[in-house]
Amino acid sequence: MSARAIASATVSFGLVSIPVKLYTPTNSESDISFRQLDRETGSRLKQQYVRVSDGKIVERSEMAKGYEYAKDKFVIFTEEELKSAAAASRQAIEITEFVPLDQVDPVYFEKAYYLGPDKGGNRPYRLLAEALRRSGLAGIAQYATRGKEYLVLVRPASIDGTPDGPIGLVLHQLYSPNEIRAFSEVPLGDDVEVKDSEIGLALQVIGMSTETAFEPDGYEDGVKKQIEEMVQKKIEGQEIAMAPSETPRGEVIDLMAALKASLASGGLKREPRAAGGR
């Protein structure tokens, strides 16, 4: 089944313009979702909004959006005003610079979208994708949509997982610098010395569990599988036995002993790969 485009845009670099369509790379249909029900009757519940001042239920047709500029002080915007701001959105993704992909910290990645060529964009699309692959670079641009301008990155991506196979383009929506918390704000504890002998053993443990490529198909969502099994038991009228919670691991005191034990056990503990993995 072909993916359905969610938007159209134009990627450009220099005087080259590429009409493209955006596609979501994720499949939300695979998620397990629950609905809020009345515990006594099992009836579905309806969410309502209540006016804080007097408890009156407010219908959606009576609602407005407001911005809190001070404590409990708001300015109200109409739908027409918000639409006029959204009208400033443009469908142009104009690449203004190219940077090595490995120089972009993944912490900036917020969302990803597949890009596919739109009508008349096939040749320039292939051109940009192949040029980025050969150069090892990614394009940086700004993209305005839904009333906000985003910093975005355009990079090449292998379609079949092979380095020389067919290539496509992926657009990453990036967080702006003011949205990223500085790592220096994270408490890291006291500065301690790590011995070369400990590092050497740690490298051996890492080496025993190192793969040549990342293959996510080899990992299974154990929580989802367990919930699906519980759902089936509920449907069949079976009782669900509550499994005891795991005891948290204690603090490791002797690093050398832990590293040596890890080597003796064959590296990192890992469940067998699911079907389709290596």
Question: What pLDDT digit, counting tens, does each position of 8-29 carry?
Answer: 999 999 999 999 999 999 876 6
CATH of 7-26+86-179, one of 3.40.50.80, 2.170.190.11, 3.30.160.60, 2.40.290.10: 2.40.290.10
What are the residue boundaries of the structural domains of the chain, listed by start?
A: 7-26+86-179, 196-243+252-264
The total number of residues written for the chain in this structure: 278
Contact assessment for residue 171 and residue 229, using Cβ atoms and an 8 Å cutoff: no
pTM exceeds 0.85 for this model:
no
pLDDT tens sequence across 197-242 = 999 999 998 888 888 877 777 777 777 788 888 888 878 888 887 7
Write the CA distances from 237 to 70, 176, 231, 233, 234, integer angstroms: 53, 50, 10, 6, 5
